[in-house]
A = this chain, B = another copy of it.
Amino acid sequence: MDSELIYLDHAAATPLDERALAAMTRYFSDAFYNPSSPYALAVDVRRDYEEAKHILAMCIGGKADDITITAGATESINLMFASIRGHVVTSAIEHHAVLAAAAKHESTLVPVSSKGIVDPASVADAIRPDTQLVSIALANNEIGTIQPLREIAEVVHKERQRRFEAGDETPLYFHTDASQGVGQIDVNVARLGVDAMTINAAKIYGPKQVAFLWAQHTVRLQPLVVGGGQERGLRSGTENVAGVVGFATALQLGVDHKNSEAKRLARLRDTLQSELLKAFPDAVVSGHPKKRLPGHLHVSFAGIDAERLVFALETRGVMVATGSACAANKGTRSHVLTAIGLEPLVADGSLRLTLGRLTNEQTISRAVVILIEVITNEMNRSRG
């Protein structure tokens, strides 16, 4: 990327880490074999693939046998939802993939607080005797709020215990999409208490169109895509060896450097936030002040048109998002901002600034200057 450019949209996409790419390259041409072929060079490729899945599993404290590789978080989420039949509990601020998959079931969307927090008590209230799935993202992709998954897991475990004691065999699973948390916060499945987890390589400096659904052995998954029987019959199709090897490298790097990177990003984000609030005391920062992704800053300027702002910033080389970058979101107000109760006038002036590996002190210093100039211009214009 041109070094003059300032990319503050890491939640939308991340560049492929050069170490991940280096790990992938040999599977494009030298080791291109079908992992199901019988000869030794293909068997080696199969072994490398399984080893990469083992690394992916270790990074979240799971087992490789419980990982199903898919072509993205959206497919992983759809696979999870297609595996259950009953009622679903999720939140009003979930990603479109979860909301769309939930819409195929009877579902209850629990509300969130003005900081975007899902109350475990609301989840407990929403669970019905026929609820089979609770799905809550680890961290929100727009406002960065980190959910109390451990406490929600306890609610799920309590209901599961009640069913067990009542001799009720209706399954109940707890799934989380943790894609936005990797490299910034803990994604250990045992510590979070989840039964199933989605992680997307594309959001963590890995290749695009690779993700996994981890689901512990008690979760009975049903395939969306049938055929040759790959991935233990749960997702047929010739394996994406290069993609999975790159994914494993990226996830390992993310997990290994989480603590230092989280500290670094939080410091930069806090600088950005305080400088913007100093210049614009009426600006509204959304998301939880503490329980928030370290690289995330969602900030709103009432009365400003965020879409104009994005284009004005772009002419100065600064790339940011207005709300979610999802295609479905275009031209409509974010359901997340509505759910946290942001006034339309405020919501429509929202920028999502997400920091990551392309961010450093220099880019943040320059971003602060440009943001203040451009926002000031827009404010003067809208008042004029």
Contact = CB atoms under 8 A, between A and B. Distances in A.
A209 to B, nearest CB: 4
A73 B70 CA distance: 14
Contacts of A73: 237
Interface in A199-221: 202, 207-210
Given A28-B21, A75-B237, A101 B37 contact: no
Interface in A24-79: 28-30, 32-34, 36-42, 70-75, 77-78
A13 interface: yes
Copies of this subunit: 2
Given A209-B243, A238-B202, A321-B38, A228 B311 contact: no
Given A12-B37, A32-B15, A225-B78, A209 B240 contact: yes
Contact of A77 (B100, B224, B227): B227
A271 B14 CA distance: 50
A262 B14 CA distance: 41
Nearest to A25: B21
A227 B38 contact: no
B13 A18 contact: no
A166 interface: no
A237 B322 contact: no
A225 B74 contact: yes
A29 to B, nearest CB: 5
A329 B227 CA distance: 11
A361 B124 CA distance: 71
Contact of A326 (B36, B70, B103): B36
Interface in A304-335: 307, 310-311, 314, 319-322, 325-330
Given A29-B16, A39-B310, A209-B240, A230 B327 contact: yes
A228 B335 CA distance: 13
A104 interface: yes
Contacts of A72: 237-238
Given A238-B208, A325-B37, A224 B78 contact: yes
A32 B1 CA distance: 9
Given A9-B33, A75-B225, 5 more contacts: A1-B30, A16-B28, A38-B321, A42-B319, A96-B227
Which 3 pairs across A and B sit closest by C-beta, in order of nearness?
A97-B227, A71-B71, A74-B237
Interface of A: 1, 5, 9, 12-16, 18, 21, 28-30, 32-34, 36-42, 70-75, 77-78, 95-97, 100-101, 103-104, 202, 207-210, 224-230, 236-243, 307, 310-311, 314, 319-322, 325-330
8 contacts: A12-B37, A18-B29, A21-B29, A38-B307, A39-B314, A100-B226, A103-B226, A208-B243
